[in-house]
Amino acid sequence: MSQWHMRSKTKVTGKLLSRISKKKKRQRGRDYMPMHLGEARTRKIRRLGGENKVLALAGNVANIMIDGKAKKAKITTVLENSADPHFVRRNIITKGAIIQTDLGKARVTSRPGQGGTVNAVMIEQTPKASSSREEKK
């Protein structure tokens, strides 16, 4: 069943309001499709004006900012999610979630279900990842 983003049919007092216009396709909402941890899967949705929005349904790679430079890292698991505590055991990634990667812990700064990618900021590096970086310098 669709969620419609339209004006209410009644006033606060309960009086019925007359309909101004017909329902438009752009006013229709859509169901929440969370991004899971797994093999990369995306879906394109047409937006108003003919542009496309890429929804990430699943993914296992994150773009992590370390000292002002972006690196790709493989996501191993979801450690915390302030949106819903049950998202942790279901491995659902949303904005603000703390993820464990092969480089260390990171906090998700993007909205993967809206933008199609996982962008994150490093919180805590693993000793192995930081020592390999120092060797390259």
Kindly give the confidence (pLDDT) of every residue in the chain, 137 residues in length, as a single tens digit, with 9 standing for 90 and above: 568 888 888 999 999 999 888 888 888 888 888 999 999 999 998 888 889 989 999 999 999 999 889 999 999 999 999 999 999 999 999 999 999 999 999 999 999 988 889 999 999 888 776 555 555 55
CATH code at position 59 = 3.10.290.70
Has residue 91 been placed in a domain?
Answer: yes
Has residue 17 been placed in a domain?
Answer: no
How many domains is the chain partitioned into structurally? 1
Has residue 70 been placed in a domain?
Answer: yes
Which residues span the domain enclosing 70? 33-127
Q: What is the pTM of this model?
A: 0.75
Structure tokens at 9: 């049919």
Taking CB atoms within 8 Å and a gap of at least 24, the contacts of 102-110 are 102/73, 102/74, 102/76, 102/126, 102/129, 103/64, 103/66, 103/71, 103/73, 103/129, 104/129, 104/130, 105/79, 106/62, 106/64, 106/73, 108/62
